[in-house]
Chain A
């Protein structure tokens, strides 16, 4: 049965009517129109649905919406604002500035089909928060061995992702 739940996504508070066990992904996509996270496997095995909850990556396809009430959910639609807040950018600068991870994804032309890349960027943001200067080995380790599963890309964009993470790291450290 549906409950009224209060949810904070990308800094905005929303009240949604949803069964408490509803997977967060469906609330984000269908109720909040946040279409960045994608349905990949529904099993927390691929990473396409990854979002940040209180700064930690979770797989929204298996996360009950009731478990994130009162927490801050960030999708790729909210990354730029997160960065602007972190850097105290003026409104004018904020409007034209993407999160360095997103900018690096553009500069390195990472996406091929792009379906998995929302989750990849979320994983990158989490990695850089913990390790601002990751080596290639550390990037590979983070994208492969961080629970619950590797972040998978069937187009094979892994090299470009590594380059983009390192590019973003430089910008974020500057």
Chain B
């Protein structure tokens, strides 16, 4: 949450916003609804955003919050859990402001017809700020009601666990509203989700302006951090018990009457078009059918196993054109180098000053760092269920990452008003950013097949299909140069980051079927949050190219953002350069960083993490560093990341065996200071999980492809970290009350790769310029 003044800025009397209505129900409830500002629906008039159906009606529904007479609370958010713990954090936020126990809060997440604000499921702080403000507004309204009821001024009232007390009297929230239907309006600003007018800034067609969702406006009085009782505790993530006992309804568990199971027949290359479709052997598979639209081919059956079994012979008999528009992963760097990059898409800094400073530098260091394509690679492949009716209505069940964006995209594919489309959120495997823009997934396949068959359809992608066809985190290279003065101080840095773009959220199913998929325009963005204020001159440039293989009618290797997008990659280059610069000046890499920043928060967490790691202060490489021999060598390395009001430090310890090229990470210490920590245990989980993911990236992960298709299509060929490869992980957390909230779920994966690369350099004296540090790469590097 961006730090905002926690004072009551406006003169609005919240209590008068509460209007008594007739006694609709005997039970009574306080509904907290949207107050749509004038102009919000302006887009409806221009036809971009029909909101007429299946959107929360501010006049009728409890859009945000509902307090019932039994004291239970229902809260609604457009965001949805992705495994990082927001389903715990949001009730904590609400409970804190309302002075209730978080257990009494049920959170409704995502469903497009039941939640008010839309927005990403990535980066939960915006949504958390919304629910916190809503709770704060509601608290003021409840105090006003209690004051009237008890005849005690609000200033004399206190609330504990939903019981309002003052003047020797008390009343519970439930009693307070019993027999009344009350409606409090919450002011909101922002744009609803919709397709962008031609030529404006969009994410595969959808207007950027609506991506953040609606924002709760105004400044209700909020509880000071020093009085927090719920935020800062390790409130358990609701839903864990159900997941552990098999009671959760996952998206893959949705079963509808008459539902067909579908398996997709994908083209054998990333660009093949259909020549002839194979037929189902009806003797063996009497209930299976082939469904086709354009190049979208599926086998459907009411019996899932029959669909699975029938698919094999249909796939074999289906004929496709040949295509070979990929460079092959072994030629990827050359192919990217050969692209006519032109001017940078994003740039920050003064080129003239930086060139002058580099020209005057006592010493310069230049390097090119690179990383191949990697995958989000969840354990559960894409899955969706859709029920598209002949009246144009469509209901979809899936683990979407941006429900309102999905709704718009699916309505666009079907050619139906978005008001007729409802997308319901249910759990599925972690998605790590690939669903942020509401495009990638099985949803498009499911709605198209349901429209064609007239029946509800459940589409389950296979692992091979998912690793072969889903969006990827693009490969990149960064040319980076640093200039040191005579005192060994970095005075200038120039980075030129090159990558295919990572915003191609066009749904594969729509492209295959030749249905509207939106358009995509390559663009790069600067993601680094600059940690080194004492480096006087810097020029950061980001160059973007289209997807590799974009001549394919299906977009080729479709780039998508992945956990800590852009910054993970750009920070790798910066931190690796800083480590090489520290070594060039014979400085300890932590001391070197301390000399280049004056930010006390960064200094503090750097020192605390170094101490926890038992960091031995000395220059890299290690005095015993060696690039040959069969005896292992050891090293340590450090890196930092500053992201979303959070300061991260990673310290890796590695063992390298030069003859075999095997790199083992033996210990990883990760530290964070992210303002006020909301839930220490969930943060701890995110930090461990992020390190595990980042180590996979540092050591193993690489998408391989030949000229036709992705070839790393199972877990033996796309390798992620196993339990045995996980080192001892040590966590350092610093919570502070004076800096608001920072992002805790996303960045820990970004601290692992540069720290491991630095530790490898420390152990061997050879600076790696590429990840992953596979045995093949390492033996070639050390042998060179």
One digit per residue, 1 when the CB lies within 8 angstroms of any chain A CB and 0 when it does not, for chain B 411-437 equals: 000000000000000011110100000
Establish whether residues B463 and A151, one from each chain, have CB atoms under 8 Å apart when the complex forms.
no
Chain B residue contacts of A157, Cβ below 8 A: 685, 688-689
Contacts A45-B714, A112-B685 given; does A154 touch B429 at CB 8 Å: yes
Q: Does A40 contact B (CB under 8 A)?
A: yes
Establish whether residues A158 and B692, one from each chain, have CB atoms under 8 Å apart when the complex forms.
yes
Query: Considering only CB atoms, which chain B residue lies closest to A27 in the complex?
Result: B305
Chain A proximity of B425: nearest CB distance (Å): 13
Cα–Cα distance between A153 and B378 once the two chains are bound (Å): 8
Establish whether residues B685 and A109, one from each chain, have CB atoms under 8 Å apart when the complex forms.
yes
Contacts A36-B246, A48-B379, A113-B82 given; does A41 touch B715 at CB 8 Å: yes
Residues from 209 to 265 in B contacting A, C-beta threshold 8 Å = 234, 236-237, 240-241, 243-246, 248-250, 252-253
Chain B proximity of A27: nearest CB distance (Å): 8
Chain B proximity of A49: nearest CB distance (Å): 10
Residues from 671 to 701 in B contacting A, C-beta threshold 8 Å = 681-682, 685-686, 688-693
Q: Does A155 contact B (CB under 8 A)?
A: yes
Chain A proximity of B399: nearest CB distance (Å): 9
Q: Does A156 contact B (CB under 8 A)?
A: yes
Complex interface: stretch among A52-60, A84-92, A136-144 = A136-144
One digit per residue, 1 when the CB lies within 8 angstroms of any chain A CB and 0 when it does not, for chain B 115-148 equals: 0000000000000000000000000000000000
Chain A residue contacts of B460, Cβ below 8 A: 39
Which of B84, B244, B304, B427 has most chain A Cβ within 10 Å?
A: B244
Contact of A45 among B244, B715, B726 (CB under 8 A): B715
Chain B proximity of A128: nearest CB distance (Å): 16
Which of B305, B308, B381 has most chain A Cβ within 10 Å?
A: B305
Cα–Cα distance between A30 and B260 once the two chains are bound (Å): 12
Cα–Cα distance between A34 and B247 once the two chains are bound (Å): 9
Cα–Cα distance between A31 and B325 once the two chains are bound (Å): 44
Chain A residue contacts of B720, Cβ below 8 A: 152, 154
One digit per residue, 1 when the CB lies within 8 angstroms of any chain B CB and 0 when it does not, for chain A 20-53 equals: 0111001001100011101111110110100000
Residues from 97 to 113 in A contacting B, C-beta threshold 8 Å = 98, 102, 105-106, 109-113
Establish whether residues A39 and B380, one from each chain, have CB atoms under 8 Å apart when the complex forms.
yes
Query: Considering only CB atoms, which chain B residue lies closest to A34 in the complex?
Result: B246
Q: Does B721 contact A (CB under 8 A)?
A: yes
Establish whether residues A155 and B463, one from each chain, have CB atoms under 8 Å apart when the complex forms.
no
Cα–Cα distance between A43 and B84 once the two chains are bound (Å): 28
Establish whether residues A154 and B378, one from each chain, have CB atoms under 8 Å apart when the complex forms.
yes
Chain A residue contacts of B303, Cβ below 8 A: 30
Query: Considering only CB atoms, which chain A residue lies closest to B383 in the complex?
Result: A39
Chain B residue contacts of A155, Cβ below 8 A: 83, 430, 689
Chain A proximity of B236: nearest CB distance (Å): 6
Contacts A76-B246, A155-B689 given; does A109 touch B304 at CB 8 Å: no
Establish whether residues B379 and A75, one from each chain, have CB atoms under 8 Å apart when the complex forms.
no
Cα–Cα distance between A115 and B245 once the two chains are bound (Å): 12
User: How many of chain B's residues have a CB under 8 angstroms from any CB in A?
Assistant: 58
Q: Does B7 contact A (CB under 8 A)?
A: no
Q: Does B291 contact A (CB under 8 A)?
A: no
Chain A residue contacts of B378, Cβ below 8 A: 113, 115, 154
Chain B proximity of A165: nearest CB distance (Å): 11
Residues from 117 to 153 in A contacting B, C-beta threshold 8 Å = 117-118, 121, 139-141, 143-145, 149-153
Chain A residue contacts of B725, Cβ below 8 A: 144
Chain B residue contacts of A151, Cβ below 8 A: 723
Establish whether residues A109 and B243, one from each chain, have CB atoms under 8 Å apart when the complex forms.
no
Q: Does A172 contact B (CB under 8 A)?
A: no
Query: Considering only CB atoms, which chain B residue lies closest to A18 in the complex?
Result: B305
Establish whether residues A154 and B250, one from each chain, have CB atoms under 8 Å apart when the complex forms.
no
Establish whether residues A117 and B244, one from each chain, have CB atoms under 8 Å apart when the complex forms.
yes
Establish whether residues B721 and A156, one from each chain, have CB atoms under 8 Å apart when the complex forms.
yes
Chain A residue contacts of B241, Cβ below 8 A: 106
Query: Considering only CB atoms, which chain B residue lies closest to A30 in the complex?
Result: B304
Chain A residue contacts of B723, Cβ below 8 A: 139-140, 143-144, 150-151, 153, 158, 161-162
Chain B proximity of A65: nearest CB distance (Å): 9
Chain B residue contacts of A154, Cβ below 8 A: 377-379, 429-430, 432, 693, 720
Query: Considering only CB atoms, which chain B residue lies closest to A104 in the complex?
Result: B244
One digit per residue, 1 when the CB lies within 8 angstroms of any chain A CB and 0 when it does not, for chain B 627-671 equals: 000000000000000000000000000000000000000000000
Chain A residue contacts of B429, Cβ below 8 A: 113, 115-116, 154
Contact of A149 among B82, B428, B685, B715 (CB under 8 A): B715
Chain A proximity of B397: nearest CB distance (Å): 14
Establish whether residues A38 and B309, one from each chain, have CB atoms under 8 Å apart when the complex forms.
no
Chain B proximity of A37: nearest CB distance (Å): 9
Chain B proximity of A81: nearest CB distance (Å): 11
Chain A residue contacts of B253, Cβ below 8 A: 29, 35
Cα–Cα distance between A115 and B381 once the two chains are bound (Å): 11
Q: Does B729 contact A (CB under 8 A)?
A: yes
Establish whether residues A111 and B240, one from each chain, have CB atoms under 8 Å apart when the complex forms.
yes
Chain A residue contacts of B686, Cβ below 8 A: 112
Residues from 312 to 344 in B contacting A, C-beta threshold 8 Å = none
Q: Does A73 contact B (CB under 8 A)?
A: no
Establish whether residues A113 and B304, one from each chain, have CB atoms under 8 Å apart when the complex forms.
no
Cα–Cα distance between A21 and B306 once the two chains are bound (Å): 11
Contacts A41-B714, A76-B244, A77-B245 given; does A115 touch B430 at CB 8 Å: yes
Establish whether residues A145 and B724, one from each chain, have CB atoms under 8 Å apart when the complex forms.
yes
Chain A residue contacts of B726, Cβ below 8 A: 140, 156, 158-159
Establish whether residues A152 and B715, one from each chain, have CB atoms under 8 Å apart when the complex forms.
yes
Cα–Cα distance between A143 and B726 once the two chains are bound (Å): 12
Cα–Cα distance between A22 and B301 once the two chains are bound (Å): 14
Contacts A39-B380, A41-B463 given; does A115 touch B428 at CB 8 Å: yes
Establish whether residues A156 and B690, one from each chain, have CB atoms under 8 Å apart when the complex forms.
yes
Q: Does A80 contact B (CB under 8 A)?
A: yes
Chain B residue contacts of A18, Cβ below 8 A: 305
Chain A proximity of B326: nearest CB distance (Å): 24
Query: A-B pairs with the 3 shortest C-beta distances?
Result: A156-B692, A156-B689, A36-B246
Using a CB–CB cutoff of 8 Å, the interface residues on chain B facing chain A are 82-85, 234, 236-237, 240-241, 243-246, 248-250, 252-253, 303-306, 308-309, 377-381, 427-430, 432, 460, 462-463, 681-682, 685-686, 688-693, 714-716, 720-726, 729
A-B contact pairs, 8 of them (CB 8 A): A41-B715, A42-B462, A45-B714, A105-B240, A109-B681, A113-B427, A114-B243, A154-B378
